[in-house]
Chain A
């Protein structure tokens, strides 16, 4: 055998070196993968190695200011299938039949889904408890041998949540709704989504490559954080009043384009009610609320259809009070009044002469009242809503100052209100803001604002000169009712002095007591406000917006409100004729509900109802004494010695100087026919009713005077047979008001 030579040794050593070098190179390569690419590879590896399941967080409840639940989430279930497993189990027909029947779905559609070439399909979201249980019972049904089998192999139930709105359409535009993934899509559901939604939790589970269970359990559970509960400033009762009256007004005055109303606490900016009519059902927000719109959509096909649906649904969801812009018209005169008083360019007793038009530059701008108001003081000018008076006063304020106040009152900016979609319109640019623009702007024309901007601006008048920011959220509370966050009153800025504000309020109150806003008068509640009638653009199309901007009580306002009727097509489109009476009905309900203490004037007290003494069973001789201090008159029928019955009954109320009819024999009771008084003046109505031996009660304004108003409704209606002494309630409405 040959001996080993030196070359063999050398070569063996070189071989060693080559191997070592190669192995070190591979080790470096390994380190490169681990340390340079490691993080990225690890993330991808974990991605495939774990199942990540989201656990929904509970969405917060939305309450009204008194704790009534306006929106609430309930846990429901989601039905999904694994078409692959169904294919393996070969039970597609049974699954399709069962699911279609239990979930009330189209069988063909279900069958199509469960036979798709995929591993996951959602059959139905938000399945209520009962159908879910029906499915669950089939999943562990007993076969003929009494063995438990899953008849719905490949069908899965998982947790899902559903949002319920107990009041349906109430305050729909404020509350809004959520989408398929519980994300807020409109209203406070959208603007407070971050607070309401909470933070979803997760379960991370280890899985093997084929998705079956691991021999050990690895689970990481990250708890979901529930959303906060939101307490709104809305008062469900007030909201209800508002919506009720809006609905009635829209019907009564044939309002074509909906209506809106804002009611705000004038001191804190809390929105007590905000309504857009027509509303929609929050539990079914994707269905059009009008049959007409639905019919229009149904008549189209394809892209046109989806576009039409989209337009209609957006219109339905529009919160007119915040999103729509319009010309405020005469309601803006309150603002012009405030700026003129603040600038000291007018005094209450300044006199003006209205000829029915005013020449401004090349234009003759007319007053709403043909023939003009004649010679009036400033206060009378406001009461009569006289355009020339305001054009004159506006000119005295001057372009620069008017512009300054326009901005100061916040018309050039968003109010900062916490609902989505707030609009703001551009005012005349400074170079285009001339004599004529100033004149028209002074009485609220030629520019557009949102209803909410006007309410916010008026809060300076109600709030001693300081504007308050409107807001919808009161506080956030946790599930145990602890307050997490309180939303405080925010003041925007002081625009006018307290004195100016107070004077403006007085003037606006007299507009209601003496002027064009008489139809908003409520005895004892000191309503102040201004009507508005603005012609929509383009001019001359006969479309108007009738509005009323008011507050009460005038001396120390607590509630401020704005009502808009968009395109009234009834007998009248005038704010004073249709918006003011509706506003009055709304405020009457609200002020009584809020327990605002009435402050009656002496005159009001005089015409107030008085309690009827109960004299039934009394001897006729004692009757004069019983009526002595009652303020009421009486009439004795028959010649019996004792009063056997009386109309009206004791304890009811009658206007002073009414007559109570007392019967001494039952047989003497006789019925009379109620006369027809509709369209009659006050004195004529009085005469007709008292002549029929009936009593009259004038509903609403106690100070109605002849010539200004006519009876618009009566109860009981004419022709009814009623006992003598029965009270006939008659409603009067002012005519000839702006």
Chain B
């Protein structure tokens, strides 16, 4: 009733809201349907990961770093490893650098497909949500085939990588890439040509190039506004310097940049293709050689304990620039460990892009910066005969599935 008198009304989106699966609180002041003012607050599930990390040794931190984010569980350990390798002056073998790129790009494909589904869901277009998540299963399967786990892969190690990709595994990766090439056109058709999607995303939530630069926006969100920031292109890490990567903007496809939600979708769609090409190149150009700087972890730990230096690393996570800073001081645990995830930077964009939107646009506009949403797991609660599955049974089933995927590999290997 109040609203009809054109009085301002305040609506809280989050920390618990069907549109946002993660606890960010966005408070929008509305006049009728129009958003007039936006404020946000973070920290609802501050886990103190950095604080915990300062009480653990680098190898233990690696596991923590993987659990910073359910989706970027290659990017975080990769940034952490690169930072500590920088501090300890460790040279990573070339083959490991290539392997790191492959895993990071597989992660990007899976993250972007997840985003496309979420974006469709925010628009109420659940058929596309289910389609994109269905095709996302393929990349999760290949990740499981290569690493033994779908989500938390635990393949990175300081000074290298823990699992090699063997010659026998390559055909299966290529098969997956072929599958994605096949469905990529269909995905493009859905997102580029569907009239209702266009109606809801074109010229909505515009972030101008100047705003993006001023607010230090990173990743696909910045690129959609025409800022060619891409750490993979700008700053050599892992094997990206060899691969001549070019930052993707909507102009790659459409010859114009508007910086709206549609552009952010396009950039991510194009990056799926880019990632596929990168993986293909890596498989072709990957050199032979060792994959670890120091395979004996005890020795590695001793070496790291003697380090008294600081290191910093930039990594292009699926959502943008990720930075880890670490300082070691002749002790087992580091004295500083600072993580800055991309969403932390991109949150600055939210008041700017929500201004003058309608309330109905809020979910899709917020989702368009792809705030890092914890990963959906694959828990099946009941099977076809309505037998409730408990944790042990689920674990047993998932081990069985992994073994079925990797049946030519030695049983019991890895972290199953």
Partners in one complex: no
User: Which A residues are within 8 Å of any B CB, using their own CB?
Assistant: none
User: Which B residues are within 8 Å of any A CB, using their own CB?
Assistant: none
